[in-house]
Structure 1
Amino acid sequence: MTKTKKMEVSSGTLSPEELKLAKELRKNCDNKGKEKNPFNSASIFHQMGLIYWERSKQVSCMTRKFHLIRSVTLFNAALSRHSSNWQFEKDLQKFCADLLKCANAKKFDADLLGITKNVGKLISEMREEAKKDLQALTNISCDVKKDGQRKLEIRKIENMKTIQIKITQMYNNMMKYIAEQCEITMGEPPCKYAIAGMGSLARCEITPYSDFEHIILLEEGAQEKEIYQEMLEYFRWFSVIFHVIVLNLQETIVPFVGIPSLIDESKKDGSSWFYDVHTKCGISFDGMKPYACKIPLGRIEKTEKKSWTTELIKPVSKMLRYLDSDEDLKNGYHLADILMKHCFVFGDKSVYDEFADGVRVTLRQGKNYHHETLMRQLEEDLQNVDAFRSLHALRRSSQCDIKRVVYRSTTLFISALGKLHEIDEGSSFAIINQLKINKIIDDETSHLLSYAIAVSCQVRLTVYMEKESQNDNVGEDQFYDEWNNKVFTKLVGIVGERSLVNYFAIAKKFQQNLRCEEKLQDLKFALVLEPVDKFEMLYMLQLYDRVISDWESFLQEKTQFVSFHDESWMRYRVAKSHYYKHQYSNSLHLWEWIEMNSNDSVLKKEVMRYKARCLYDSGRLHETLQFIAQVRPEIERLNLSESRSYRIRTDLAFISGLCKQKLAHYHEAIKDYKQSIVYRNYIDQRDFPLKEIQRAECCYRIGWCLYELGDYDEAIKEGETSLRHGEKHSAPLNKMCECYKLLGLCHMNKGEYQKSVELFQKEIALRGQFVPREKQDSDDNMKDAKINVEACQESLK
């Protein structure tokens, strides 16, 4: 081992050396915690690894094992950033040899790095097979007729089932190989045991980049033997060696192991200020932070509020206690829910079978408690993983978390139904099939749900394979254009327009059924996709041309009965599609039809809002103001929630301000914008941060009015307020550019030319991020900004 200064430090104390290294690392990171140059971080991580290796020798029991895991993680972080450094590799080899002595391993000369290389080959094979299988999938064309569509959907369901089973088997075999090597290394186990997998492995929905959630079950009666503590130590070291083999793959991000000097003290969840973008997150273990720890070593560190530890190496009966209400509530992170779904990985199958039988019996005995717990969890998930609300928010977002928005919006609730009905199968496909056998859902619902699961698995798997990482984000770093969302373009590219539209339509209707209390009591429901569902999702996914063309086809054919209510909402989607395509006359025609024929208060509210926008965007400013004055009293008569009522008041006040600003009635426009800001305070908090972005827009508009009035100081205040709100809540870049332009002009008119140059240059740099390079010379806004810079520089001369 390379010599390092001997430190007297307790497990909970940070040494000056580590704090110094953390400070150096921070200097090599930007304000988001991302490394500017990973190569420069390599020696920092190496030195940190040495510190934790040394620290492990000064503590005992579980803390020692925790420090060793941190140490090897840091060594691999160093090597992945500077692979040719012989000292880093030498220290890692020494670490592995030292670990085997600490563990009192039977095979003290085991080649842990060699085992990792073999595991790497298995991983490469698994990923290559998955890649080929995904490439063989074909998307369903929009031109396919209904009968042909059904056949293609069935084929996709079967193909995705096969792909997921194949990946699961290969992943399981890989973990079995590691476990075999750990047993060979540690020597004959002191008792019978079994490794049980959990999470996506148990659900047969694992990916080639998923983490390994698992527990170690000991044979019943082991706790009564005199050598029980020695038994536990065997399996603890077994688990540490298992960890080291996987960590040597260099697919574990540093924050996973909770390095204390990298913890962001300003965040309550104990997350890291360091954002490891260099490491491709792949085959690893569940994080070692207190709220995670779904690994045999379990929860090692205590927190102020949860001052206990949780170990997941236990005899069967002791592990089953986590399913009891008191233990589950005490543990604090739904451990009972996690243990309900499991699968056999390695060891003695009879030990695993005893645990599986015990889970079934325990759940039956505590049926009422578990049913109530599941129902509460289901209600919470329906609130937090709302497919339609997520899609609505996504329309004004630059990135999509596909695991939450796509994958979990169906699989989470299929799993919940499986638990509520005591269905043992872990796979979503298998649960759906059993629900059909039990006559809880009909054939059509079974098909629709199975197809939704196939689509969600394809999206998640494709994204991971393309990124070569367990990275759930699809999209861009910054939002450029709210009418051309790159997230939707990407998702359509993965599974095709038709499948994506149907997926969200199914997810929304499925969640609506689960929210219906009467249907939850008897838990029987049927899903039927109507034309209105299709139109709604086409619109939500910004497929406006398709909305318009399909509406024309629908009017010509109209073979399927559609209620007047549904037809009104379909017209509404078509009207908004025309509006976003700047086809204002077509849009106004449809708004007027709805205005004349529909009595739906929510729909009437939407008509008021968008008819006013259409009139304004058509340049009919006086008509817009007349219309707003006309409908304002009507809002009071509509049966709307308070939030909806204030949302329309907000929009009408804002549109009124836009009209008056164009008519050069600046003082009146400022009053309207300020009124719009006041109304926004009463809008539902679930619309945050959208309403904050809109607040920034109002401040920007007030600033322009003040600029036109010649009050540059006040205009600067409003512009800076708008800029702060926009930066904080990720406003579209084009809006941020306009703020810089306003501020630049204000300072320019005050004769503060140097300040103006800085602001105009920021505007140019920002526009350069979303205006294509080949169009930058011809872009009017870019040309104006450059002219303003030249004018200021000329004045400075």
Structure 2
Amino acid sequence: MGDTYKRRCINKSTEREHYVNATALYNAALVRLENAPEKGHNHQRYSKLIVTSCVQIETLYCDNILGGNIYCVKKGINQTKIDDLEKYRHHLKVRVKRLEKVWDKCPKPEDKRKPRFEHRKNQLTQLICKQNTKFVKEFSAELMEQSISVCGPPPCKITMVGLGSMARGESTPYSDLEYLFLTESDKHDEYFLNLHFHFLLQVLNLGQTPLPAMGIQSLNDFYNEKESNDFYDDVTPSGFKLDGNMPWASKTPPGHKATELKPPLKLIGTPTYMAELSTTEADKKHGYHLATIISTATRILGDENLFLDFQKQINTTRRGENPEFIRQICLERMHEDCQKYKFNFDDWSSKNVKKDYYRFPSTFINNMKDLHMLDVTSPWEIIRELQRQSILTSEQCSHLYFMINVAIGIRLLTYCTKNQQHESIIELNPYHQENNAYCMDSLSPSKVLRECLRIPHIRLMQSYLLRLQSINYCIKSGMATKPSSMIMYCQCKVCILQVKIKTCIGPDDIIYEPEEMIESLEQSWHVLAGNIRQNNCYDLAQFCRIVKGDLKSAHILMNKKPIQTNNMTNNLTTQDMFAAISNLKMGNDSAALQQTDAAIKVCPPNIPGLLLYLKYIKLHCHSRLQDYHSVVLCFEDMTKLKPYNNLPEYERAYVGKLYTDALINIGDNKTALEYLPKLKEDYAELFGETSEEYKQTLERLLTCYMVLGRIQEAEKVQNMLKRTK
């Protein structure tokens, strides 16, 4: 494919995308060549050929797009810049290890807070972020200066403006770069597009841009919903790259093309043009939180006065808006975020450190900034300003500091451990209490990992989730309209047990009696919110005992639970369900199956999620009893239920594993083959290609192909298996 685009470049194509697509494809080919388990005798020749092709593409770009007006020398893959990145990442890992030692001193969520620990954690996280942002800003500026030296001096004053994580001071050397061009005049877009695409060529030659980020039409046509966009690049490491070329991303100068619902957008323009994009009206028109992104900016290089004019115009524009309208929008966003990032202690699937941990505190703090019209950018500055203006109390601000610094820290730890921007982790939880050994060896060469890591900092995660849960509850209860009344850290016994279930119940953890929990709830802010349910306390206490292995106490509690006459069906369902879980834990699979069937019979039709969970237990029972025909029937029943599509990806993959195992055992290899390729991709995404789950899926694929006599496909899978060793 790289050669196809190269031929277009040789034929003097005027499409800038052809040059960057060719470079992206050549770099992707080079990564695959270097990752090949066996280096053939042609390895070195092909490697040199790809490097030469990258140089040729840049030369063709200079000849065909820049018209041969070249002011510079350096072309192709810049090993010095790659080495600079690796060197800085090495230093970052040392600092993150130091941060982990501080995390180890985090108290249990039920214990008294340690201000010294919190201060040290916050201080160290901010320092790391400050150093990261300085490095990424200087690194980006150097690359842009090299591009300017190739494209020639700008025809008017210019400022390269950083957006997103760089502007918030949270950048990492694995982050996407979002930026725009501020220009003195709006008559030179062609020059600035030429400059951007040359800059992109340099970034691509770092070899850290997965192909979907390019939006190459034949692989991922993100502008056409009818086309398949599921090409997945699980080989190229995701490191320093530009924001992806998708309509919902594209925070780079070319912007995005028109979609069915949105007009085209460019991020090249004068301060006046850019300020107009920061209004709530423009936000509604273009979407994708454009106003917040544009108004959170930092200067990377170029004319400082142009940037100051831009900031001044943004402040004037935003202050001219209707404050009540902005207030309404911010409160709506908060409620949407609560739904999007809601706390669900039943969900033990894999998590994404960016979406599931970092997003909620980050968007909440930014919404507070917009709600109160604050002229600051970083989360720490916003929190300080909220306290200075007495919008929040010092205690509330301390909880926000805790949340954002933990979210940023866990994201940094994940990136440093995996040596790329790969965000899947698994919390330590009741069903996965073993700790996958993860290693962030800052002294060894970088090795890219895709495994779903288990984060071992249990007390830290519990304290973080306690705050996330509390703020989430407060917003849902309507308390965000008066921020100083928000409870950001609830230590009632129910909340504490919920976050322990979400992470890990330790051998020395106390499981409270239901009566203790009810009393604790009645003395908490939950009374005002009106979300006290006594039966929930019994269910929680019972479930904690089952998880801890105290099945006798769980059974006693089951009989003590008050019967709600107006909800008899729910009581019977829950009782049978807990009995089934207890029997599963003890290995009494037949009894567990019997109780699950009893629960399914009385399960209310208006709770499809509960019915799905019961079917999940039933599937597990049939699999353990080796009743494979029943496993297949149970799977088919599950997929007909609406909530099945909302099952976390980890659980869907596990259900698929049991289903395909059953099909193979009853000899239906053809049907198994319809599902296994998707399961293979899911496990690659969740745990990486070196995981046992991924290898076992390949082995099942191999079995099916061999039984069906599809030798060529079997040989391909055998080669894939060799590469995982």
TM-score by length of 1: 0.69
| Structure 1 match to 2:478 | 517
| Aligned: 1:77 with 2:28 | yes
| Structure 2 match to 1:103 | 66
- Three-state SS of the structure 1 residue aligned to 2:466 is helix
- Three-state SS of the structure 2 residue aligned to 1:245 is helix
- Tell me, in whole angstroms, the C-alpha distance in 1 between the residues paired with 2:251 and 2:180: 7
> 1:608 deviation in Å?
5.2
> 1:703 deviation in Å?
11
Matches within 5 A, 1:114-125: 116-125=78-87
CA contact (8 A) 2:632 2:663 kept: no
| Structure 2 match to 1:156 | 121
- Tell me, in whole angstroms, the C-alpha distance in 2 between the residues paired with 1:618 and 1:290: 49
- Three-state SS of the structure 1 residue aligned to 2:177 is coil
- Tell me, in whole angstroms, the C-alpha distance in 2 between the residues paired with 1:236 and 1:617: 61
- Tell me, in whole angstroms, the C-alpha distance in 2 between the residues paired with 1:674 and 1:569: 20
**Partner amino acid, structure 1, of 2:193:** R
| Aligned: 1:192 with 2:157 | yes
| Structure 2 match to 1:210 | 175
1:496 to 443, 457, 461: 457
| Structure 2 match to 1:625 | none
Deviations 1:523-577 (A, max 9, x none): 6534343242222211222425354x3649x98xx99995696998666533321
| Aligned: 1:292 with 2:249 | yes
> 1:286 deviation in Å?
0.8
1:605–1:433 distance in 2 versus 1, CA, 3 Å:
farther
- Three-state SS of the structure 2 residue aligned to 1:196 is strand
1:91–1:738 distance in 2 versus 1, CA, 3 Å:
closer
- Tell me, in whole angstroms, the C-alpha distance in 1 between the residues paired with 2:54 and 2:255: 25
| Structure 1 match to 2:208 | 251
Which of the pair is proportionally richer in helix? 1
| Structure 1 match to 2:553 | 586
**Partner amino acid, structure 2, of 1:140:** D
1:377 to 306, 325, 333: 333
CA contact (8 A) 1:400 1:487 kept: no
- Tell me, in whole angstroms, the C-alpha distance in 2 between the residues paired with 1:618 and 1:435: 49
- Tell me, in whole angstroms, the C-alpha distance in 2 between the residues paired with 1:136 and 1:522: 34
> 1:212 deviation in Å?
0.5
CA contact (8 A) 1:295 1:312 kept: yes
**Partner amino acid, structure 2, of 1:170:** F
| Structure 2 match to 1:26 | none
CA contact (8 A) 1:296 1:312 kept: yes
**Partner amino acid, structure 1, of 2:123:** E
CA contact (8 A) 1:195 1:347 kept: yes
- Three-state SS of the structure 1 residue aligned to 2:242 is coil
| Structure 2 match to 1:113 | 76
- Tell me, in whole angstroms, the C-alpha distance in 2 between the residues paired with 1:168 and 1:591: 54
1:67 to 11, 18, 24: 18
CA contact (8 A) 1:192 1:218 kept: yes
2:431 to 465, 468, 483: 483
CA contact (8 A) 1:432 1:449 kept: yes
Deviations 1:726-759 (A, max 9, x none): 99866577766766787788x6xxxxxx769999
- Three-state SS of the structure 1 residue aligned to 2:465 is helix
| Structure 2 match to 1:457 | 408
**Partner amino acid, structure 2, of 1:103:** L
Bigger RCO (CA 8 Å, 6+ sep) = 2
CA contact (8 A) 1:505 1:529 kept: yes
- Tell me, in whole angstroms, the C-alpha distance in 1 between the residues paired with 2:539 and 2:115: 29
> 1:120 deviation in Å?
2.0
> 1:473 deviation in Å?
1.1
1:422–1:462 distance in 2 versus 1, CA, 3 Å:
same
| Aligned: 1:363 with 2:318 | yes
| Structure 1 match to 2:542 | 575
CA contact (8 A) 2:163 2:178 kept: yes
- Tell me, in whole angstroms, the C-alpha distance in 1 between the residues paired with 2:512 and 2:634: 43
| Aligned: 1:172 with 2:133 | no
| Aligned: 1:530 with 2:497 | no
- Three-state SS of the structure 2 residue aligned to 1:215 is strand
- Tell me, in whole angstroms, the C-alpha distance in 1 between the residues paired with 2:431 and 2:631: 29
- Tell me, in whole angstroms, the C-alpha distance in 1 between the residues paired with 2:623 and 2:456: 45
CA contact (8 A) 1:544 1:578 kept: no
1:140 to 104, 121, 126: 104
> 1:117 deviation in Å?
2.9
- Three-state SS of the structure 2 residue aligned to 1:595 is coil
CA contact (8 A) 1:131 1:465 kept: yes
Deviations 1:448-478 (A, max 9, x none): 11011111111101101111111111249xx
> 1:143 deviation in Å?
6.4
1:177–1:605 distance in 2 versus 1, CA, 3 Å:
farther
RMSD (CA atoms)? 4.5
**Partner amino acid, structure 1, of 2:293:** I
> 1:358 deviation in Å?
0.8
| Aligned: 1:718 with 2:633 | yes
CA contact (8 A) 1:696 1:725 kept: no
1:150–1:109 distance in 2 versus 1, CA, 3 Å:
closer
> 1:309 deviation in Å?
2.6
| Aligned: 1:508 with 2:469 | yes
Matches within 5 A, 1:196-345: 196-219=161-184, 222-223=185-186, 228=187, 231-263=188-220, 268=225, 272-299=229-256, 301-306=257-262, 308-345=263-300
- Three-state SS of the structure 1 residue aligned to 2:507 is helix
- Three-state SS of the structure 2 residue aligned to 1:545 is coil
- Tell me, in whole angstroms, the C-alpha distance in 1 between the residues paired with 2:79 and 2:669: 58
- Three-state SS of the structure 2 residue aligned to 1:535 is helix
Aligned residues with identical type, % of pairs? 20
Deviations 1:148-195 (A, max 9, x none): 722112111111011111111111111111222222222222111111
| Structure 2 match to 1:392 | 346
CA contact (8 A) 1:197 1:343 kept: yes
> 1:700 deviation in Å?
8.4
| Aligned: 1:683 with 2:607 | yes
- Tell me, in whole angstroms, the C-alpha distance in 2 between the residues paired with 1:618 and 1:347: 66
Gaps of 5+ in 1: 1-44, 621-654, 664-668, 748-753, 771-797
Deviations 1:660-707 (A, max 9, x none): 9759xxxxx97x587468x45x336xx5xx8556446657889999x9
1:456–1:733 distance in 2 versus 1, CA, 3 Å:
closer
CA contact (8 A) 1:239 1:296 kept: yes
- Three-state SS of the structure 2 residue aligned to 1:261 is coil
**Partner amino acid, structure 1, of 2:94:** K
- Tell me, in whole angstroms, the C-alpha distance in 2 between the residues paired with 1:279 and 1:88: 15
Aligned residues: 632
- Tell me, in whole angstroms, the C-alpha distance in 2 between the residues paired with 1:98 and 1:744: 54
Which of structures 1 and 2 has the bigger CA Rg? 1
1:569–1:674 distance in 2 versus 1, CA, 3 Å:
closer
- Tell me, in whole angstroms, the C-alpha distance in 1 between the residues paired with 2:405 and 2:391: 21
| Aligned: 1:94 with 2:87 | no
**Partner amino acid, structure 1, of 2:137:** N
- Tell me, in whole angstroms, the C-alpha distance in 2 between the residues paired with 1:522 and 1:715: 53
Structure 1 range deviating more: 721-730 or 423-432: 721-730
> 1:198 deviation in Å?
0.7
1:367–1:120 distance in 2 versus 1, CA, 3 Å:
farther
